[in-house]
């Protein structure tokens, strides 16, 4: 019998991951908003990536639900809801799951798996993360526009999932120290608010030194807090994380030559935080910059750049600006 997987929160990441597992032969049930349910019922589900993947799943082959009770018979549940929705979802999820069901968190931030585990102590909960960006398009299309892997805590279920990801070519691996991986991923995700405030595509943003200097400032503060907490840093990109602020600060012509893998991005790719603001949703800034601020406070470290960027995103959520030029944004954080 095929592995029965449930996707809780079938948005950009959830639809992409679920479709990739379907390609590999898993039996996948999706739980998502009525808006997306209606879209995939009409158009089916299409996933693509910047490497050339382009796969369509007809609507007749999809199991898409809006009632969490449909997840009760799953062997594995993958949670992909926004971090701010985790607490509300887990209260309902705990009521329907069998104790043998494995739960995996594929969410931004560093604390979602722990929250899930506290609410479902009878279940095994595995932390995980996705290092690539997925943007939702029209007519049920979900596009991975950047490079990166799916990484899940090393366990039997994670190793089983590896085989199902192969058909789509989705890079996948397991890791023994997911706390380290999640904080290392958070360093990369600090570009999400910069991209959201720039209003331009990721490749254009990262090609401009002023924006990169903003990101480098965020990462330096985060690295100071992470070091104080004695959390090892993992290499998730071609450039070791400890070198990122220095590499990002290079002049444009040098950066483009030395850091070419960092620009291996689809020209239209944008951050998930940009997409949240575009759709009028609350962002995950509290689970990105907010995590840095809280960890730094624990060690008495000042992180004014992360605090300023958090304020700007909070203003953008209320209708404030999200079209800053790089030099404007840099001047604000330097002030």
pLDDT band at 319 (very low <50, low <70, confident <90, very high): very high
- Ordered by start, the domain boundaries in the chain are 4-176, 182-334
| pLDDT of residue 229 exceeding 70 | yes
- Cα 132 to chain centroid distance, Å, stands at 7
| pLDDT of residue 198 exceeding 70 | yes
pLDDT band at 6 (very low <50, low <70, confident <90, very high): very high
Please answer whether residues 279 and 258 qualify as being in contact, where contact means their C-beta atoms are separated by less than 8 angstroms.
no
Q: What percent of the chain has pLDDT over 90?
A: 85
DSSP states of 66-130: SSGGGGTT-SEEEE-S-GGGHHHHHHHHHHH--TT-EEEEE-SSSSHHHHHHHH-TTS-EEEEEE
12-43 confidence digits (pLDDT tens): 999 999 999 999 999 999 999 999 999 999 99
Lowest mean pLDDT among 72-76, 221-225, 259-263: 259-263
Instruction: Give the Å distances, CA to CA, from 84 to 80, 175, 194.
Output: 11, 25, 20
- What the block records as the tokens of 37 is 């349910």
Coil, helix or strand at residue 32: coil
Mean of the pLDDT values across residues 274-280?
94
pLDDT value, residue 269 = 86
Cβ atoms within 10 A of the Cβ of 46, count?
A: 18
| pLDDT of residue 238 exceeding 90 | no
312 vs 145: which has the higher pLDDT: 312
pLDDT value, residue 91 = 87
pLDDT band at 316 (very low <50, low <70, confident <90, very high): very high
Distance between CA atoms of residues 19 and 148, nearest Å: 17
- What the block records as the tokens of 128 is 């995980």
- What the block records as the tokens of 299 is 């060690």
User: Which of 241, 113, 248 has the alpha carbon at shortest distance from 185?
Assistant: 241
pLDDT value, residue 145 = 86
Q: What is the mean pLDDT of the chain?
A: 94
Say how many CA atoms lie within 13 Å of 105 toward its Cβ.
28
Instruction: Give the Å distances, CA to CA, from 277 to 14, 157, 195, 268, 316.
Output: 19, 35, 11, 17, 7
Tell me which range, 134-138, 169-173, 263-267, is most confidently predicted by mean pLDDT: 169-173
pLDDT value, residue 265 = 80
132-157 confidence digits (pLDDT tens): 889 888 999 999 988 889 999 999 99
pLDDT value, residue 1 = 65
| pLDDT of residue 171 exceeding 70 | yes
Distance between CA atoms of residues 28 and 62, nearest Å: 8
pLDDT band at 130 (very low <50, low <70, confident <90, very high): very high
What residues form DSSP beta bridges with 129?
151
Lowest mean pLDDT among 100-104, 193-197, 233-237, 300-304: 233-237
Lowest mean pLDDT among 151-165, 179-193, 246-260, 319-333: 246-260
| pLDDT of residue 118 exceeding 90 | yes
- For domain 4-176, which architecture applies? 3-Layer(aba) Sandwich (3.40)
Indicate the fold that domain 182-334 takes in CATH: 1.10.1040
| pLDDT of residue 129 exceeding 90 | yes
Please answer whether residues 59 and 38 qualify as being in contact, where contact means their C-beta atoms are separated by less than 8 angstroms.
no
Mean of the pLDDT values across residues 294-321?
98
Distance between CA atoms of residues 97 and 27, nearest Å: 17
């Amino acid at each position: 019998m095929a592995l029965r997987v449930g996707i809780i929160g079938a948005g950009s990441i959830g639809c992409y991951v679920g479709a990739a597992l379907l390609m590999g032969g898993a039996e996948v049930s999706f739980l998502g908003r009525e808006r997306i349910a209606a879209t995939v019922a009409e158009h089916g589900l299409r996933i693509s990536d910047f490497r050339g993947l382009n796969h369509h799943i007809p609507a007749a082959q999809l199991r898409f639900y809006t009632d969490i009770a449909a997840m009760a018979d799953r062997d594995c549940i993958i949670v992909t809801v926004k971090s701010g929705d985790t607490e509300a979802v887990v209260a309902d999820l705990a009521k329907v799951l069998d104790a043998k069901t494995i739960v995996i968190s594929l969410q931004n931030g560093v604390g979602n798996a722990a929250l899930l585990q506290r609410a479902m102590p009878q279940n095994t909960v595995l932390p995980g993360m996705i290092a690539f960006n997925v943007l939702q398009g029209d007519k049920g299309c979900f596009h991975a526009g950047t490079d990166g892997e799916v990484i899940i805590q090393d366990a039997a279920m994670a190793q089983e999932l590896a085989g199902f990801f192969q058909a789509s070519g989705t890079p996948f691996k397991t890791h023994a120290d997911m706390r380290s991986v999640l904080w290392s991923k958070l360093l990369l995700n600090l570009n999400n608010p910069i991209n959201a405030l720039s209003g331009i595509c990721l490749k254009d943003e990262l090609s401009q030194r002023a924006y990169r200097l903003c990101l480098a400032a965020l990462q330096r503060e985060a690295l100071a807090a992470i070091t104080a907490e004695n959390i090892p840093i993992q290499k998730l990109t071609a450039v070791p994380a400890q070198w990122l602020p220095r590499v990002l600060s290079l002049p444009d012509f040098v950066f483009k030559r030395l850091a070419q893998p960092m620009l291996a991005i689809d020209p239209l790719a944008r951050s998930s935080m940009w997409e949240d603001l575009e759709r009028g949703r609350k962002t995950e800034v509290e689970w990105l910059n907010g995590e840095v601020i809280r960890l730094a406070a624990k060690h008495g470290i000042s992180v004014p750049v992360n605090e300023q960027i958090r304020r700007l995103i909070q203003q953008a959520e209320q209708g404030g600006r999200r079209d800053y030029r790089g030099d404007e944004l840099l001047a604000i954080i330097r002030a």
